[in-house]
Amino acid sequence: MAFGKTPVESIDALAARVHDGAMIAVPPDYSFVAMAATRALIRRGARDLHILAVPQSGIQADLLIGAGCVTIMETAAVSLGELGAAPQFTAAVKSSRIEIRDSTCPAIHAGLQASEKGLPFMPLRGLIGSDLMRIRGDWKESENPFEEGDRIVVLPALKPDFALFHSPFADRNGNIWLGRRRELVTMAHAAKGALVTVEEIRDIDIMEDEALAGGSLPALYVTAIAEAPKGAWPLGVAGQYEPDREHLANYAKKATDADGFQDYLAEHGA
Amino acid sequence: MAFGKTPVESIDALAARVHDGAMIAVPPDYSFVAMAATRALIRRGARDLHILAVPQSGIQADLLIGAGCVTIMETAAVSLGELGAAPQFTAAVKSSRIEIRDSTCPAIHAGLQASEKGLPFMPLRGLIGSDLMRIRGDWKESENPFEEGDRIVVLPALKPDFALFHSPFADRNGNIWLGRRRELVTMAHAAKGALVTVEEIRDIDIMEDEALAGGSLPALYVTAIAEAPKGAWPLGVAGQYEPDREHLANYAKKATDADGFQDYLAEHGA
Amino acid sequence: MNAPKYTKTELLIEVIARMLDGLNHVAVGASSPIPGAAALLARARSGGTPRVSVLSSLRHNDFTDGARELFDCAAQGRIDAFFLGGGQIDGEANVNLVGLGDYPKLNVRFAGSYGSAYLYFLVPRVILFRPEHSRRVMVSKVDFISAPGTSPPGLYRPGGPYALVTERCIFSFNKEACRFCLQSIHEGETVESIRKNTGFDFDCPPQTLQTPPPSATALELIRGDVGINIAEVYPKFAREFLSLS
Amino acid sequence: MNAPKYTKTELLIEVIARMLDGLNHVAVGASSPIPGAAALLARARSGGTPRVSVLSSLRHNDFTDGARELFDCAAQGRIDAFFLGGGQIDGEANVNLVGLGDYPKLNVRFAGSYGSAYLYFLVPRVILFRPEHSRRVMVSKVDFISAPGTSPPGLYRPGGPYALVTERCIFSFNKEACRFCLQSIHEGETVESIRKNTGFDFDCPPQTLQTPPPSATALELIRGDVGINIAEVYPKFAREFLSLS
């Protein structure tokens, strides 16, 4: 089945498009995280993923890291928020099982905007004097070409293979509604393709409704869509369902040791 | 009267905020042009304006130029579209009555995005080998810091004093709805302040409606609002009213000579 | 069976549409009614391929991120074809959208360069379209280069000129030689009439092809859906140059 | 009349809120329940000034252009105050949000730098907030500089540290001397207890001020509207540390 030119497929078919070694951009926990697709990635045994958190992540990154799917984690932070440290992330970094590319939120946004604009780099204020500049061999100090002596950092473009996220709905033509979550629009523009799970597919044309069109991502950027009701669970979708706080607290407790983490995976179908 | 912290005032009071010599950014003819405010600017005898068309303009720029309000016109183009050349613009450029800063659409967007991001410059592809590079003393050829020999242009930030545009509605807190016209959001972010005329003020909170919020500009960026029903006339507002094509054709004819232009101004209250 | 009668406008729409068949995404800029109609025609007869984004149209416009999205999208490699005109076009495919004479004190001022200085570099298939084919327009050297036809090796330039379509003929562009080559001439023209009206030198194949007339299907679409849709953005054009059925 | 009883959390909310009075726009980042409550308190008692943007809140969030807008807005000079924590904070106001030990093989790993390496440079009034005030946190030199407290002259830096608020005291920061100065101590503390628990040297005024307790109005708001609103984003915090009426 396909709406317009964008295929609508099963969550496992969608996850299978993420090849081993792919760089995938994902949103923060509060914003339309494709958790059902994340479990599908773990089920299919994805390997060597380069996860780019835009700009931070939580349980999604922790699950993928714990399940051995991740080789590179690029992020401004990984945390379970009020529930504390992300246990699998923390353990993997300390034991060097993954390569951590510590970044800072605006650097990730700027790197994606560079790709969005087809630019090889983007300048950014701040950063100079932080140890991030020391450890990021790919960030460079440069000079403002319009003012001698004004030092400024330049960052290389970040070009993910896929942007992977969830949305309240797609329309019959494959357009995706995202409302205020415009970092997902930028992510999709910057990536080679977007893989999107949706609560539902509505038989409407988003582009015919000016109110909806302004908060949408055109099908043009979407590689494939999978219908996934409650697809952000145990995280929430603003205005539709709350995060499952009990479940998340249980995860935070269980995932602190390897056995508990494996139990969790087995129990929750990943 | 003020909604939230944003003053709501008369169209003349709003226009009076534009001081002589101000740099003001304006949208293209198809998109929410503040024509009533433009007539108010002419009424108050604004002088030495630096008009930045984002990225092109039509009757708005032509009127302001003809009325002697403009010293610098920075734009990718000025044209009356199907109705042909913009007569007052054309005459003013040929007689050197205004300084024309010829640009190209993406360079204007990039310069505004630089200001939006608080950056002193933005790189851009293309341009090299065009005569625009020759005549724009403020554009520089540079090198991609991540690839030796890869030449790329850098453009200085464009920081307007005001973004001036029209919108279908504001809410009671001074938030402005713009739908898909997101170049107006960028314009407002980049400018020191936004002056916005609206068809109406609705007694709602845009931020409480996720569908509307995604296509809106927060009051945070808005200096002042004026209610101006049919405020884009003789241009249109998508979904609300069409351009007044007869009026525009009449303008195109009249404005080709100085007397006809003055007649037009007198007749239409500018 | 006689071939159906057609206007020059209809021929030009069909000629351009043929250059778009099989592409994924075609964008159409300002003041481009004929290219806009061509893109809609290509889409209509292929069941939705290519996607068409007509700037300043609400209905035929996939963009939702403001006016910059067209340019970003092109830089991402997501736009396969675009159209440029020109007050002057020269034999090296340089285009001039700024004016005639010595800049800035021009004898004739055009509207301005629009996005040409950028899109010409980034869109793989840029179709130059200028109906008027005279020595006034097709010049040996443009007075002002809004966008250059070619760039030196090493400069990032995935895009460039693909063809030049006029009221008299179609030229293809040879990037290596940096010259136009006559591809086909429209009904009523000869190689000599082209040469006489062209200010630049160009290559000719051994045999001159005639531009085929629009098909009956194309004409039906142009006079139907395509015309109705282009009238949204270009009402004057649709009224004056299309005989809508 | 006895002063009303209050918790340490309530005191800290009030202490920070006082630093925000009169500002136009305060933004609150991730994992910042007390600063978030302080910003809402400052707004509540001034009739809507300052604007407050709480990230990850829908209700108290003016941003509509995606996650980058906070950072762009700060660079535009439109955010007057922001908050940073730190697993370690040193006497030169450097903050470490990355971990303890030699990077990348750390003994303790924190969440990460978030936006610190940028916002610390651009927001005029960055308030460092870390309740735990021990030699483990307040160190002589951080193991990793997520964001430096000061920058050499000539570097573009309109922002920087304004104060450091802990469970024991308030420090102000002297940019020229690149040192903290004790501003006031909370009830139950002495200069000696502060020195004993601080791993860096700091300046002391001749007379030590006591941090004033929260006003009855402040407490009423914290236990009412402010608490209810902060619970939207930090339900666990609101449940455990605020006694909502």
- Residue with the bigger pLDDT between B4 and B178: it is B178
User: At residue C219, what is the residue type?
Assistant: L
pLDDT at A23: 98
pLDDT at A169: 97
The mean pLDDT value for D64-84 works out to 96
Question: Which residues in C19-38 are b (16+ Cβ under 10 Å) and which e?
Answer: bbeebebbbbbbbbbbbbbb
- Helix then strand then coil, in percent of chain D rounded to 5, is 30, 20, 50
pLDDT at C58: 67
Are A189 and C122 in contact (CB < 8 Å)?
no
Any alpha helices (H) in B105-164, and if so which ranges?
105-116, 131-135
Res D50 pLDDT > 90: no
pLDDT at B4: 56
- Residue with the bigger pLDDT between D62 and A15: it is A15
Tokens of C241: 């140059």
Res D175 pLDDT > 60: yes
The mean pLDDT value for A39-47 works out to 97
Q: For residue A54, which of A107, A132, A119, A130 has the smallest C-alpha distance?
A: A107
- Least confidently predicted of A131-140, C236-245, D175-184: C236-245
pLDDT at C48: 76
- Least confidently predicted of B1-5, B158-162, B253-257, C149-153: B1-5
Are B189 and D25 in contact (CB < 8 Å)?
no
- Residue with the bigger pLDDT between D53 and A202: it is A202
Cross-chain CB nearest to B82 (options C66, C122, C236): C236
The 3-state DSSP class for residue B263 equals helix
pLDDT at D1: 46
pLDDT at D30: 75
Count Cβ–Cβ pairs < 8 Å, chain A vs chain B: 88
User: Within the 167-186 window of chain A, which residues sit less than 8 Å (CB to CB) from chain B?
Assistant: 178-182
Which residues does chain A have within 8 Å of residue B144's beta carbon, measured at their own beta carbons? 120-121
pLDDT at A3: 42
Res B211 pLDDT > 60: yes
Q: For residue C30, which of C114, C107, C91, C90 has the smallest C-alpha distance?
A: C114
The mean pLDDT value for B136-156 works out to 97
Which residues does chain C have within 8 Å of residue B124's beta carbon, measured at their own beta carbons? 118
Please report all neighbours of A, defined by 3+ CB atom pairs within 8 A: B, C, D
Nearest CA of chain A to the CA of D216: how many Å?
29
Which residues does chain A have within 8 Å of residue C46's beta carbon, measured at their own beta carbons? none
- Interatomic CA distance for residues D234 and C239, integer angstroms: 61
- Interatomic CA distance for residues A99 and A101, integer angstroms: 6
Cross-chain CB nearest to D72 (options B116, B213, B218): B116
Please report all neighbours of D, defined by 3+ CB atom pairs within 8 A: A, B
Which residues does chain C have within 8 Å of residue A4's beta carbon, measured at their own beta carbons? 48
Are A110 and B117 in contact (CB < 8 Å)?
yes
The mean pLDDT value for B78-99 works out to 95
Question: Which residues in B106-140 are b (16+ Cβ under 10 Å) and which e?
Answer: bbbbbbbbbbbbbbbbbbbbbbbbbbbbeebeebe
pTM: 0.96
Nearest CA of chain A to the CA of C111: how many Å?
26
Nearest CA of chain B to the CA of D82: how many Å?
16
All structural domains of chain A with their residue ranges: 2-120+159-267, 123-156
Are B121 and A144 in contact (CB < 8 Å)?
yes
- Interatomic CA distance for residues A155 and A157, integer angstroms: 7
Res B154 pLDDT > 80: yes
Tokens of D231: 């619970």
B185 touches chain C (CB under 8 A): yes
Are C78 and A216 in contact (CB < 8 Å)?
no
Nearest CA of chain C to the CA of A68: how many Å?
32
Res D57 pLDDT > 90: no
| Confidence at A182, pLDDT banded by 50, 70, 90 | very high
Res B29 pLDDT > 50: yes
B189 touches chain D (CB under 8 A): yes
3-state secondary structure chain A: CEECCEEEECHHHHHHCCCCCCEEEECCCCCCCCHHHHHHHHHCCCCCEEEEECCEECHHHHHHHHCCCEEEEEECEEECHHHCECHHHHHHHHCCCCEEEECCHHHHHHHHHHHHCCCCEEEECCCCCCHHHHHCCCCEEEECCCCCCCEEEEEECCCCCEEEEEEEEEECCCCEECCCCHHHHHHHHHCCEEEEEEEEEECCCHHHCHHHHCCEECHHHEEEEEECCCCCCCCCECCCECCCHHHHHHHHHHCCCHHHHHHHHHHCCC
Handedness of CA A223, A226, A228, A234 (dihedral sign): negative
Res A140 pLDDT > 80: yes
| Confidence at A1, pLDDT banded by 50, 70, 90 | very low
B contact test, residue of A124, A155, A180 with most B CBs within 10 A: A180
Cross-chain CB nearest to A214 (options B142, B144, B179): B179
Cross-chain CB nearest to A125 (options D111, D118, D154): D118
CB A68 within 8 A of CB A90: no
Tokens 């501003």, residue located: D183
The 3-state DSSP class for residue D141 equals coil
Please report all neighbours of C, defined by 3+ CB atom pairs within 8 A: A, B
Which residues does chain A have within 8 Å of residue C118's beta carbon, measured at their own beta carbons? none
- Least confidently predicted of B124-133, B179-188, C55-64, C158-167: C55-64
pLDDT, one tens digit per residue, over A96-112 is 999 999 999 999 999 99
Are B127 and C98 in contact (CB < 8 Å)?
no
pLDDT at B79: 96
B165 touches chain D (CB under 8 A): no
pLDDT at A82: 85
All structural domains of chain D with their residue ranges: 8-86+115-133+159-241
Nearest-10 Cα torsion for A104, A110, A111, A117: 170
B146 touches chain A (CB under 8 A): yes
Which residues does chain A have within 8 Å of residue C76's beta carbon, measured at their own beta carbons? 115-116, 118, 189
Percent of chain B with pLDDT over 90: 93
Count Cβ–Cβ pairs < 8 Å, chain A vs chain D: 147
The mean pLDDT value for B200-226 works out to 94
Burial of D124 from C-beta contacts in 10 A (0-12 / 13-18 / 19+): middle
A266 touches chain B (CB under 8 A): no
The mean pLDDT value for A59-85 works out to 96
Which residues does chain C have within 8 Å of residue B76's beta carbon, measured at their own beta carbons? 112-115
Nearest CA of chain C to the CA of A140: how many Å?
22
A220 touches chain C (CB under 8 A): yes
Res D74 pLDDT > 90: yes
CB B223 within 8 A of CB D81: no
B contact test, residue of D62, D119, D156, D157 with most B CBs within 10 A: D62
Are D48 and B221 in contact (CB < 8 Å)?
no
CB B165 within 8 A of CB B194: yes
Residue C147 is classified by DSSP as B
Tokens of C172: 């293809």
B217 touches chain D (CB under 8 A): yes
The chain D residue lying nearest A81, using CA atoms, is D31
Res B235 pLDDT > 80: yes
The mean pLDDT value for D215-223 works out to 94
The mean pLDDT value for B5-22 works out to 96
Query: Based on C-alpha coordinates, what's the Rg of chain D?
Result: 17
The mean pLDDT value for D220-243 works out to 88
The mean pLDDT value for A20-34 works out to 95
| Confidence at D207, pLDDT banded by 50, 70, 90 | very high
Which residues does chain A have within 8 Å of residue D105's beta carbon, measured at their own beta carbons? 94, 96
Task: Give the length of chain D.
Answer: 245
Are C62 and A216 in contact (CB < 8 Å)?
no
Cross-chain CB nearest to A218 (options C49, C58, C63): C63
The distance from CA C131 to its chain's CA centroid, rounded to whole angstroms, is 9
- Interatomic CA distance for residues A252 and A269, integer angstroms: 17
Res A4 pLDDT > 70: no
The mean pLDDT value for B202-227 works out to 94
Any alpha helices (H) in D52-210, and if so which ranges?
69-75, 116-122, 191-197
User: Which CATH homologous superfamily contains domain A2-120+159-267?
Assistant: Glutaconate Coenzyme A-transferase (3.40.1080.10)
- What's the whole-number average pLDDT of chain D? 93
Res C134 pLDDT > 50: yes
pLDDT at C79: 97
Check contact A-B (3+ Cβ pairs < 8 Å).
Answer: yes
| Confidence at A210, pLDDT banded by 50, 70, 90 | confident
| Confidence at B1, pLDDT banded by 50, 70, 90 | very low
| Confidence at B2, pLDDT banded by 50, 70, 90 | very low
The chain A residue lying nearest D238, using CA atoms, is A82
Q: Which CATH architecture has domain C8-86+115-133+159-241?
A: 3-Layer(aba) Sandwich (3.40)
Task: Give the length of chain B.
Answer: 270
User: At residue C211, what is the residue type?
Assistant: T
- What's the whole-number average pLDDT of chain A? 95
Nearest CA of chain A to the CA of C170: how many Å?
31
Are B151 and C155 in contact (CB < 8 Å)?
yes
Q: For residue D117, which of A112, A183, A56, A133 has the smallest C-alpha distance?
A: A133
- Interatomic CA distance for residues A110 and A116, integer angstroms: 9
Which residues does chain B have within 8 Å of residue C100's beta carbon, measured at their own beta carbons? none
DSSP H or E run through B95: none
pLDDT at B3: 42
pLDDT at D27: 95
- Interatomic CA distance for residues D30 and A80, integer angstroms: 11
User: At residue A110, what is the residue type?
Assistant: A
The mean pLDDT value for B23-30 works out to 94
Instruction: Identify whether A55 is preceded by a cis peptide bond (ω within 30 of 0).
Output: yes
Res B31 pLDDT > 50: yes
Res A136 pLDDT > 90: yes
Which residues does chain A have within 8 Å of residue C51's beta carbon, measured at their own beta carbons? 5, 220
pLDDT at C238: 87
A219 touches chain C (CB under 8 A): yes
Q: Nearest-5° angle of CA B96, CA B100, CA B103?
A: 155
- What's the whole-number average pLDDT of chain B? 95
pLDDT at A270: 74
- Residue with the bigger pLDDT between C245 and A116: it is A116
pLDDT at C109: 96
Res C2 pLDDT > 80: no
CB C102 within 8 A of CB C96: no
- Interatomic CA distance for residues D236 and A246, integer angstroms: 11
The mean pLDDT value for B87-91 works out to 97
Nearest CA of chain B to the CA of D59: how many Å?
7
Check contact D-C (3+ Cβ pairs < 8 Å).
Answer: no
Tokens of D145: 């500089």
Are A210 and B178 in contact (CB < 8 Å)?
no
| Confidence at D182, pLDDT banded by 50, 70, 90 | very high
